[in-house]
A and B are shown apart, each in its own frame.
Chain A
């Protein structure tokens, strides 16, 4: 599903060019549930940005679902993100003035799905993550765990090929974290969905199929 070959990335906006990724080779098969670990500065956020088509890379190649992702225009990148990828963030990133249902429906808005239809689909997905009753609540009225469930529903609604999660449990207590991980696991099993989770928590990483460890912009371990 995901194939990276010698991907390199440097930042030039500092005084001296900073090479963040020094040639990453990795492969994630369809339906795999993989975690990426590494200390801060290891390049894992940059890697996730590249995987999420939020950032470009300098050299190498990145194939997503058989499509080469390189030097895309902003518009094409937006379309690929919308069709191929679902995002889950540490700080949820829900729009505060929209209800849970509207937040979940947002990716479909950019697919030009009609309002009534996308709200109905959003309701199904909220049901799937177990918070259908909270559909008409604003994010501020939800607990951290509930917010992350809304975010997961939003990531799933566009039927992506890959879900990318950036520290999805970073802002949650251990009980809620476990619930979220269980939900990920369940979705991965039921939908055969490819999942990549960036985390620094060992108990989270331990529950995934495979851990990729990054250090100083290189893959240290692929176990």
Chain B
């Protein structure tokens, strides 16, 4: 079936009507090309957005106090909910699917800036009071020195771990921050480490301008007493962050005398919900890409089929002659089928290579650039190969109807003198 003679026959028919062959091939080419571009772009968008989750564990839960809106247990609405060390201990003891609980305080509240001084240089930075466990929830790379350890907390050491931007602003490039002191709201802290955040975009900006000090030291040094601003938690392996969030909320409600139905009293946010939302969005986009891509491809294949039908019609006489001279039905069928497969495969493969090439080029261009929503557009090699199989199969399908029509041509009708 694949001897040289047949290839020459096919090459002959393909090149005999170049414009028509080109237009036919363009349909399939465009289908595959668009599919590749859409797949690559979809992946790029997904990578860009999902990278936003870097540096935060994908099942982190954050819980903080807000203002009550319902009267409960003899207390009026409008009370500010304040959480304390006792709540931390109670949740750690009572919550079975809790893995890590790291209470947190921030100087000046959420997104508050505080002037930090060192040798005449002053700049506003975010100051956190943290447990060493926070490293399991928010990830960063220690670039020099070390992070907070349990002894820093138990001994209330006045030590600080500073972000790379803090180090850059407060220290000259020739100076070593480790061992030196920074001055925060009337208290000196010794720098024990510097870190580089793994978060992206705006979060990264904030984190690199942050200073971590021990939670216990923070409460004492800055007059926070027992206060805890918010909890950072992760559930145990196999448990959902969503469940943990509602469990902790319920426990806090009963401990802090909040109406069980007061949804405003305790604020919460979990990355799992966001992550799942985005995951759903991207599987939706993925499905859409495939539907549109396959549709475009199908249109191309139907185009091939149509053109092949016309070709068969035009070649009725030729096919009749061939049959009279001894061509078997199968030799005619396979000729048409092979032609359709050759056209679709050639066109599809070109589209595949150009589409992947374009995406790779874009990838190289984007490298080293700080883009937030679009990163590393890439096409899965398996998907590319699957598409190739679909193309060849599509070619067979495209040739099937015309080939059967060709095989059913009787020499008598074809050779009837007009």
With both beta carbons as reference points, the residue of chain B lying nearest to A110 in the complex is identified as B326
B327 in contact with A110 (CB, 8 Å): yes
Contact of A115 among B5, B328, B417 (CB under 8 A): B5
Nearest CB on A from B8, distance (A): 8
A154 to B4, CA, bound (A): 22
A33 to B184, CA, bound (A): 121
Residue tally, chain B, CB below 8 Å to A: 23
A115 in contact with B4 (CB, 8 Å): yes
A110 to B6, CA, bound (A): 11
A74 in contact with B327 (CB, 8 Å): no
Number of cross-chain contacts by CB at 8 Å: 59
Q: Does B16 contact A (CB under 8 A)?
A: yes
B326 in contact with A78 (CB, 8 Å): yes
With both beta carbons as reference points, the residue of chain B lying nearest to A115 in the complex is identified as B5
Q: Does B317 contact A (CB under 8 A)?
A: yes
B415 in contact with A89 (CB, 8 Å): yes
Nearest CB on B from A79, distance (A): 7
Chain A residue numbers with a CB within 8 Å of B317 are 93
Query: Which residues from 359 to 418 on chain B have a C-beta closer than 8 Å to any C-beta of chain A?
Result: 410-412, 415, 417
Contact of A74 among B318, B321, B325, B329 (CB under 8 A): B329
B interface secondary structure, majority: helix
Nearest CB on A from B317, distance (A): 7
Query: Binary interface profile of B, 325-359, with partner A (CB < 8 Å = 1, else 0)?
Result: 11111110000000000000000000000000000
A106 to B321, CA, bound (A): 10
A107 to B5, CA, bound (A): 13
B328 in contact with A79 (CB, 8 Å): yes
Q: Does B12 contact A (CB under 8 A)?
A: yes
A78 in contact with B318 (CB, 8 Å): no
Chain B residue numbers with a CB within 8 Å of A220 are none
Q: Does B115 contact A (CB under 8 A)?
A: no
B12 in contact with A93 (CB, 8 Å): no
Point out residues on A near B: beta carbons under 8 Å: 49, 52, 54-55, 74-75, 78-79, 81-83, 87, 89-91, 93-95, 97, 106-107, 109-111, 115, 154, 158
Pull 21 A–B residue pairs with CB atoms less than 8 Å apart, ordered by A. A49-B412, A54-B411, A54-B412, A75-B328, A75-B330, A78-B326, A78-B327, A78-B328, A79-B326, A81-B325, A87-B324, A91-B417, A93-B320, A93-B324, A106-B325, A107-B326, A109-B5, A110-B325, A110-B328, A110-B331, A111-B326
